[in-house]
Amino acid sequence: MARIAILVVLFALVSVLLVPSTVALLAGERLPAPSVELPPTPGAPPGGWPGVGPAGSGGGEAGLPAAGAEPSTPLQPGGPAGAAQLPGEQTLVTVYDEEAHRLLQMPLETYVEGVVAAEMPAGFAPAALQAQAVAARTFAVARLVAGAASCPLQPRADFCSDGEHGQAWASPAQRQRFWGVLAPVYEAKIRQAVEATAGQILLWQGRPIEAFYTASAGGRTASAKEVFGLDLPYLPSLPSPDADRPAGLGVTRLPLAKAAQKLGLGAGDLQAGAPAADGGSNAQPALAVIARTPSGRAAEVRVGDRTVSGEQFRQLLGLPSTLIESIGVQDGNLVVQTRGYGHGVGLSQYGAGAMARQGYSAEAILAYYYPGTRIAHLPPGPV
């Protein structure tokens, strides 16, 4: 009998850990709305349209992005135009799941759950997850309202699942795989954050805002003007409590030969300095930040005898941000010290996490990072 009792307990534990819906039913919570797989597009290649990797391939907590796959494509020109009708909470959106090479149709709120799961570590405090839900929903709605919702990888989709083409989105299967035994706990936590803010978006002068967010602002956010060239009063440069930046960020080391190749220089140039026009030695270092933005990010960087933008320099070397503190050579490596992660505009996810732990509500977090905006509710139903 004792052996049978042990087997029963083990079976119950496995059921709870591997089947999130079991936990939801026991807790009396609603189950997430099912996603409907759409038929393939006529003429699509065998196996579906090509993808560029699963959401969450950028790494982070339990395999999902640790607040790093940030949206970085602004609406043109300058944000949503006109006072178009807002979609309803249950408006259906179409997502291209790049890992599975399939189109999924789901309610907007279900889509937001997948975005929050992919964009912010589930271990963050509830208020931070709620603020992320409002920002993610607003970012999506702004594109739906402007008629700019699209996925470059699949023309029938409103949104892609990877952060390279908007917001990252993780499917339930991906979340189960990445979170493992913690999946039931994290699923419930994400769902509660989305439900607590159901239908909430941020408005500026009656229109959905460009709700950009970034992983870690490195102590100060960047304005939309300095990064995207957009004059948006609700996206200024602000101090940000980003003490808990993601582990492993801050120092980028590259072998001199590899760094020189990426920058179009000779390996000796990085060690000895940039070549002078007359062929002699140039006392100036080959690499140096020569202009900064108002928030302290690199605006221009000297690379040998040419100048590149801070963003170009970041992309060439794969730096986490343009908030560059120092550039030097050490033990045969180019060493670049940076602060923060991402473009730095809007809500800082690690800053929001710090504020939430200090007791700030989601509303207070959003009001701080998007000053002058107000929270509004989408109409109920599939408007």
Q: 87-141: per-residue pLDDT in tens?
A: 888 899 999 999 889 999 999 999 999 999 999 999 999 999 999 999 999 999 9
Identify whether residues 178 and 269 lie together within a single domain: no
**pLDDT above 90: percentage of residues in the chain:** 59
Q: How many domains does the chain have?
A: 2
Q: How far apart are CA 203 and CA 130, in angstroms?
A: 17
Identify whether residues 162 and 49 lie together within a single domain: yes
Identify whether residues 206 and 328 lie together within a single domain: no
Q: State the residue range of the domain holding 296.
A: 251-338
Q: What is the tens place of the pLDDT at every residue in 16-42?
A: 343 333 222 222 333 334 454 444 433
Identify whether residues 128 and 74 lie together within a single domain: yes
HSE-up of residue 373 (Cα within 13 Å, Cβ side): 31
Does the residue 224 lie in any domain?
no
Identify whether residues 33 and 127 lie together within a single domain: yes
Does the residue 233 lie in any domain?
no
Does the residue 21 lie in any domain?
no
Sorting pLDDT into bands at 50, 70 and 90, what band is 74?
Answer: low
Q: How far apart are CA 276 and CA 262, in angstroms?
A: 20
Identify whether residues 57 and 119 lie together within a single domain: yes
> Is pLDDT above 70 for 361?
yes
Q: Which element (helix H / strand E) includes 190? A: helix 183-196
Query: E strands of the chain, at which residues?
Result: 36-37, 92-97, 102-107, 159-160, 200-204, 207-208, 213-214, 251-255, 287-292, 298-303, 306-309, 324-330, 333-338, 347-348, 374-377
Does the residue 76 lie in any domain?
yes
Q: What are residue 301's DSSP bridge partners?
A: 289, 308
According to the model, what pLDDT value does residue 89 have? Answer: 82
According to the model, what pLDDT value does residue 90 have? Answer: 84
Q: How confident is the model over 308-316, as a mean pLDDT?
A: 93
Q: How many CB atoms lie within 10 A of CB 155?
A: 10
Identify whether residues 56 and 156 lie together within a single domain: yes
Coil/strand/helix, residue 214: strand
Identify whether residues 185 and 117 lie together within a single domain: yes
Does the residue 184 lie in any domain?
yes
Identify whether residues 121 and 255 lie together within a single domain: no
Q: How confident is the model over 328-347, as a mean pLDDT?
A: 92
> Is pLDDT above 80 for 186?
yes
Does the residue 174 lie in any domain?
yes
Identify whether residues 47 and 162 lie together within a single domain: yes
Identify whether residues 185 and 46 lie together within a single domain: yes
Identify whether residues 94 and 160 lie together within a single domain: yes
Does the residue 59 lie in any domain?
yes
Does the residue 356 lie in any domain?
no
Q: The tokens of 7 are what?
A: 């087997």
